[in-house]
């Protein structure tokens, strides 16, 4: 897939106020500071489509970007650690939950994992909840440039093994590096395949 056009549409705290659910939609989410904005900018080939920050908790709303006039890329707030109050964090969690569990045109959620870390309970629990709710998701490992290729492969294998302890079928996994612009093609091809299916059924 070639990204010809990518632009910001709107931000909301309520999924009911999101754009009309007429186009396929793909959500990107991960723990705070996982490199989500950098990944989105790499995928769309736009340097500042999503705002990047060294400070965790930068994304605070459901952000919609229209891609090629054909599908929506949705940037969701991070989960887990962020320097915000408990009340604020609970508000984010409800907003994310309501969107993920009720958005009818959400085709797939991409869960971002920092490839340098071993499997963390917060990520595993989040994915387990998605699985139990029947919400399709894939895993994107970020920051692969921080490791040697052999180390990256070893980390993914270990993560795979960990998930196989509780999952009958492990979701598809992608290795990416926004710094080296690696992995975009595989992710975009997956989205393109989903888009074709969406068009056939609508």
Is the separation of the CB atoms in 171 and 141 below 8 Å? no
Give the Cα-Cα-Cα angle 10, 12, 18 (nearest 5 degrees).
Answer: 70
Alpha-carbon distance of 188 to 44, in angstroms, equals 9
Q: Report yes or no on 79 lying in a domain.
A: yes
Question: In 168-194, which positions are buried (b, 16+ CB within 10 angstroms) versus exposed (e)?
Answer: eeebebbbbbbeeeebbeebbebbeeb
Reported as a single tens digit per residue, the pLDDT across 105-160 is: 999 999 999 999 999 999 999 999 999 999 999 999 999 999 999 999 999 999 99
* DSSP codes, 48-65: TSSPP-SSTT---SEEEE
At 106, which helix (H) or strand (E)? strand 106-114
Domains in the chain: how many in total?
Answer: 1
Q: Report yes or no on 63 lying in a domain.
A: yes
CATH code assigned at 27: 3.40.50.300
Cα atoms in the 13 Å half-sphere on the side-chain side of 33: 9
Mean pLDDT of 164-175: 95
Q: Report yes or no on 12 lying in a domain.
A: yes
Q: Report yes or no on 192 lying in a domain.
A: yes
Q: Report yes or no on 13 lying in a domain.
A: yes
**Per-residue confidence band for 54, with pLDDT thresholds at 50, 70 and 90:** very low
Does the pLDDT value for residue 76 go beyond 50? Answer: yes
Reported as a single tens digit per residue, the pLDDT across 176-199 is: 999 999 999 999 999 999 999 988
Does the pLDDT value for residue 103 go beyond 80? Answer: yes
% of residues, the chain, pLDDT over 90: 78
Of residues 128, 126, 14, 30, the one with CA closest to residue 78: 30
Q: Report yes or no on 1 lying in a domain.
A: no
The end-to-end CA distance of the chain, in Å, is 21
**Per-residue confidence band for 83, with pLDDT thresholds at 50, 70 and 90:** low
Q: Whole-prediction pTM value?
A: 0.93
Cα 201 from chain centroid (whole Å): 24
* Domain hosting residue 119, numbered range: 6-201
């Amino acid at each position: 897939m070639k990204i010809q056009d990518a632009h910001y549409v709107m931000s909301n705290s309520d999924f009911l106020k999101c754009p009309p659910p007429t186009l396929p939609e793909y959500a990107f989410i991960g723990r705070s500071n996982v490199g989500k904005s950098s990944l989105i900018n790499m995928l769309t080939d736009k340097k500042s489509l999503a705002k990047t920050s060294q400070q965790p908790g930068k994304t605070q709303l459901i952000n919609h970007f229209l891609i090629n006039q054909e599908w929506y890329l949705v940037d969701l707030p991070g989960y887990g650690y962020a320097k915000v109050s408990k009340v604020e964090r609970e508000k984010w969690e409800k907003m994310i939950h309501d969107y993920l569990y009720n958005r009818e045109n959400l085709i797939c959620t991409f869960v971002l994992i920092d490839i340098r870390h071993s499997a963390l309970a917060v990520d595993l629990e989040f994915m387990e909840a998605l699985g139990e709710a029947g919400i399709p998701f894939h895993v994107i490992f970020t920051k692969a440039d921080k490791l040697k290729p052999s180390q990256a492969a070893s980390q993914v294998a270990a993560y795979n093994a960990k998930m196989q302890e509780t999952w009958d079928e492990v979701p598809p996994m992608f290795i990416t590096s926004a710094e080296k612009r690696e992995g975009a093609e595989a992710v975009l091809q997956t989205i393109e395949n989903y888009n074709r299916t969406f068009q056939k059924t609508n």
